Structure 1
Amino acid sequence: MKKTVMFIGLCGIAALTGCQGANDTARNDIYPESGNTINVNDQRADIYNQPKANYSEDFGYVRHQKSPVQGENLSNQHYASINREKVADIIGKYCTEVPHVDDVSTLVTDQEVLIVYDTDTENPQATAEQVQKMAESVVPSWFNIYTSDDTHLRDYVESYATMDSDSTSTHSGIEKLINEMEKSGYNNSGKPEEPTSNENNM
């Protein structure tokens, strides 16, 4: 009986020692489990940290090397995706800060931003340009941004909320929606449609 108790006790001590050794190894590791970022101080300043509340005033800094291990190829890990719903949320909130804009519906796809808003502005062109700039401040420059103050299109925009880039007929449907939005008098640059050559000759 005593031998059994002693054996169990020795196993427990060995397990604790092993865990402590693993923790020490992880603590002293030059390259922690963080892709190809390098940990240079205890604050982990150059490793991406998950956002926390009340940290909006902090600067962002991350240092990357081609690879911390010679010969290792990490290029397939260098591509990130964005949370399109979060982007749409940010754009919508920004747009409600525009004077005379009260109700905003925003759809973000893989390459477009569609914004339908309700406004009582007396200068629709200026309002459209401000809404456009709000979206431009959030997404990369290669996104096409379309705005419309025709609130009848809101339901069509919302109908794509549960779809994704792989949904059947999504792209053709969005193209039709964009065509309808452009009939509001503003193109994707937030400026009035240019008159056609026939109109110029009239």
Structure 2
Amino acid sequence: MQMRLWAYILCGFLLAGCAGGDTAGDNYGGVSHLHPDNRRSEVYGGEKGQKRADKSQQFGFFRHQKSPIMGDRSARRHPPVMDRKKLARDIGRLSTDLPNVNDAAVLVTDDEVLVAYESDTDNRELTADQVRKTAISVVPSFYHVYVSDNKMLIRDVETLSSLNTQNENATETIDAVIREMRKSPQGFRPGKGSKGGMESGR
């Protein structure tokens, strides 16, 4: 009987010790050792009354590790794909943010960018240079960029959007439009009014 009483008393002490809850975490401001910044919404995306930082102010970060499994080729089955429609949209928006550019039609293929725009500029070469460099800043460096302030070509570039890489005559049709675009100013070349820059054209 006395042993059972001592067992009850011992259990009571143990339960009293656990009743304090997770007070150790409170001593550290609720920060866990596994994720010391788990209260920072800008790091882990939690909101909890805190306003998220503007996306335009954030850095882009991603960490990817090779699979530890020998011979695992699953990543190769899903190669990264470039969103050409988004690239075209971004180039168009940035182009119309430029002075004197009021309208822009943009086509992005697998290695070319065509920008036909309407402008009221007095300096066609300067505006062409700005539009070309805008496109260059968005796409990979192997792309060829063609620009034209001939507003009649806006419709032609828009028509090309119905094509894709599987169309048999896509290359010939695009090349025909490019030939017309090259009759317009293409911007400055290195050593001719601008510093550096990737040359457009093939």
What SS does structure 2 have at the residue aligned with 1:56? helix
* Letter in structure 2 aligned against 1:111: D
User: Contact 2:124/2:185 (CA < 8 Å) preserved in 1?
Assistant: no
Q: What's the counterpart of residue 98 of structure 2?
A: 98
Answering whether residue 177 of structure 2 is matched by residue 177 of structure 1, we say: yes
Q: What's the counterpart of residue 119 of structure 2?
A: 119
Q: What's the counterpart of residue 76 of structure 2?
A: 76
Residue deviations 1:75-112, cap 9 Å, x none? 51462112211111100000011111111111111111
In the alignment, the residues of structure 2 paired with residue 146 and residue 53 of structure 1 have an alpha-carbon distance, to the nearest angstrom, of 37
Q: What's the counterpart of residue 188 of structure 2?
A: 191
Q: Which has the larger radius of gyration?
A: 2
Residue deviations 1:107-163, cap 9 Å, x none? 111111100111111111111111011111111011110000011111111111122
Q: Which moved more, 1:90-99 or 1:71-80?
A: 71-80
1:1-202 residue pairs with structure 2 within 5 A? Answer: 54-77=54-77, 79-186=79-186, 190-191=187-188
In percent, how many aligned pairs have the same letter? 39
* Letter in structure 1 aligned against 2:159: S
Residues matched between the structures, number:
144
What SS does structure 2 have at the residue aligned with 1:110? coil
Residue deviations 1:8-42, cap 9 Å, x none? xxxxxxxxxxxxxxxxxxxxxxxxxxxxxxxx967
Structure 2, unaligned runs of 5 or more: 1-33, 45-51, 190-202
In the alignment, the residues of structure 2 paired with residue 133 and residue 145 of structure 1 have an alpha-carbon distance, to the nearest angstrom, of 9
In the alignment, the residues of structure 2 paired with residue 65 and residue 101 of structure 1 have an alpha-carbon distance, to the nearest angstrom, of 44
| 130 and 185 in structure 1: CA distance in 2 versus 1, 3 angstrom threshold | closer
* Letter in structure 2 aligned against 1:184: S
**What is the root-mean-square deviation in Å for CA atoms of aligned residues?**
2.6
What SS does structure 2 have at the residue aligned with 1:167? coil
Q: Which moved more, 1:76-85 or 1:171-180?
A: 76-85
TM-score (norm 2): 0.64
